[in-house]
Amino acid sequence: MRSAKLLLVGLVALGSTSCATAPMAQPGVDVSGKWQGTWVFQNASLGSGQIMMTLSQTGSKATGNMVVTGAPVDRTGSVTVLVSGNDVYLVYPTGMTGYLTVSGDDMKGQLDGMNPGNVVLKRQK
């Protein structure tokens, strides 16, 4: 299931760059704003920390900045987010990707990588 979702993300990204006249997928949620929360590796003994994201959304794509702190990773940089319905796909240029689901002012899901981590974010007002 996860590989099918990642394939969908790749196809959406490829389609949005290669065909300027094709209609974009309609987003179901607006993820614009500041999000703050926590992450923890699935093997909690490997580490945990804080995440802060500030996003600006146009259509089904949002861009912004993400700060990830905590042992053993501290990462700061730009982030691209693809939105489809309530599903959010993170594409972080330094190799961090993830799949999250938005419900109201909450966003929860998983960051992928060698050591996957669980994420819980809350929209800041």
- The 8-class DSSP code of residue 8 comes to H
37 pLDDT exceeds 90? yes
Structure confidence at residue 3 as a pLDDT band (50, 70, 90): very low
- Statement: residue 26 has pLDDT above 80: no
Mind listing the pLDDT tens digit for each residue in 4-24? 444 344 434 444 444 444 445
pLDDT tens, residue by residue, 51-67: 999 999 999 999 999 99
As a whole number, mean pLDDT of residues 33-61 equals 95
- 64 or 26, which is more confident? 64
Model confidence band, residue 75 (pLDDT cutoffs 50, 70, 90): confident
Kindly provide the residue ranges of all beta strands, DSSP E only, lying in 7-105, ordered along the sequence. 33-41, 48-58, 61-69, 75-84, 87-92, 96-103
Q: What is the mean pLDDT of the chain?
A: 81
* Predicted local distance difference test score (pLDDT) of residue 55: 97
pLDDT, tens digit, 9 for 90 and up, residues 87-104: 999 987 666 789 999 999
